[in-house]
Chains A and B, each alone.
Chain A
């Protein structure tokens, strides 16, 4: 893992955090609300979690099994959150 890759990951993570915060602050007024906001938040957190797993944890160059466990966890948790959110809409 080189420093440039780590720095790029950090910048993307910070920008993604600002996007999450913006959805909470002004999402309603810019039309990102309800299920759309929920979907956007889950996609952003997946992108962030993936960067932490691949770059910070150093799983990028490791067999898919290990990356699959962490990314699978992210997907499973996101799916459960989405299902619960969908149930709440009814």
Chain B
């Protein structure tokens, strides 16, 4: 009677693989490795020039950094809610959550854009000093990832609106969402490291 093997049963134990396509997870791991090297380079670069880094950190807009953390976290939450909704066959709700995620990502880009404009307006560039070399290259590397993440979210939004995803077809939306969460995860380390730690 209870002999039928049902792999989707709640007692099936932990899933062998994470949500989404396995390929996106290898990509995510490669990205995390790259950011990890960047973070270590920043930290050890700072160790060789503590006074400069501590002084220059005071010239950053910590409020903008914190606001951007809130925007990325909230954007990530929206996309997680979108995946959850699509998994319950609520594609219209899921599409709305995706749109909200795109809006928060856009908010991040606007805030970061103002920060860059402020620094460039003050004549700061990559060769100003080693702190700003790290700050500009590290945050811009991340900025590019936010843009790519938003392109992915727009694609997910269009496909979700078209009803291309549902409880039986979650692979695409889960893969794109995992990438977006990675962008959030990286900023969660970047913000305290660059804006706060001294």
Contacts and interface: CB of A to CB of B under 8 A. Distances in A.
Interface of A: 1-3, 6-7, 9-10, 13-14, 17-18, 20-21, 23-25, 37-38, 41-42, 44-45, 48-49, 52-53, 55-59, 61-64, 66, 69-70, 73-74, 76-78, 80-81, 83-85, 87-88
Contact of B81 (A3, A17, A18): A3
Majority SS at the chain A contact face: helix
Contacts, number: 144
B193 interface: yes
A62 B69 contact: no
A41 to B, nearest CB: 4
A17 B70 contact: yes
A6 B24 CA distance: 22
Interface string B172-198: 001001100110110011011101111
A48 to B, nearest CB: 5
Contacts of A74: 189
